[in-house]
Amino acid sequence: MKRRSLIIALLIVFIDQISKLTIDNSFLLGETFPVVKNFFYITKVYNVGASWSMFSGFVNMLIVISLASFVCFVYYQDMFKINFRNILAFGLIYGGLFGNLIDRLDRGAVIDFLHLKFGTYDFPIFNVADMCLVFGFILLVISLWKGDDKNGPRSRRRKSYR
């Protein structure tokens, strides 16, 4: 299962890094391009923090947290049943972690560029790695809720479909 998740992670990292490289070479810092007016924009920013710019300026701490998180998730993955949802969840999480980690190690900041607006609300700008982390965690929560972890309360009552 780990090998499959790592293959997904490599694909995610590739897509994430290509998209960031394209934006970095095509846009000036702060430049905005409307894709769907009043809803979806491409806006190039550098984020020196984590989500919503939390922990701005603590790049070294975020690097350590990313590496520690990866080690914990690799260990934790063995506690889940082998199925597509779990393989995808961990692959998305690994890809998201490493996509942003590469930016932090390379330039001390993460390139964010996906910008959504809902009426007067300006959603914080994010990137492909961020999306993968969010979707990976959602899938992991669904797996926990469904009892796909090997020691979960519902896992003993379900038949294995392997």
What is the DSSP-derived secondary structure letter of residue 148?
A: -
User: Domain boundaries in the chain?
Assistant: 2-122+129-146
Rg (CA), the chain: 17
- Catalytic residue of the set 103, 112, 148, 149: 112
Predicted confidence (pLDDT) per residue in 42-54, tens digit:
999 999 877 666 6
User: What's the confidence (pLDDT) of residue 11?
Assistant: 98
CB 154 within 8 A of CB 161: no
Which range is least confidently modeled, 6-10, 52-56, 127-131? 52-56
**36, burial (CB in 10 Å: exposed 0-12, middle 13-18, buried 19+):** exposed
* Residue 112 bears catalytic tag: yes
Instruction: Please give the share of the chain, as a percent, with pLDDT higher than 90.
Output: 72
User: What's the confidence (pLDDT) of residue 155?
Assistant: 45
Instruction: Please give the share of the chain, as a percent, with pLDDT higher than 70.
Output: 89
- Catalytic residue of the set 16, 130, 148, 149: 130
- Using the Cα atoms of residue 117, residue 13, residue 144 and residue 67 in order, give the sign of their dihedral: negative
User: What's the confidence (pLDDT) of residue 152?
Assistant: 56
Tokens of 62: 């975020």
* Residue 130 bears catalytic tag: yes
User: What's the confidence (pLDDT) of residue 153?
Assistant: 52
Q: pTM for the complete prediction?
A: 0.86
Mean pLDDT confidence for 136-161:
73
User: What's the confidence (pLDDT) of residue 2?
Assistant: 86
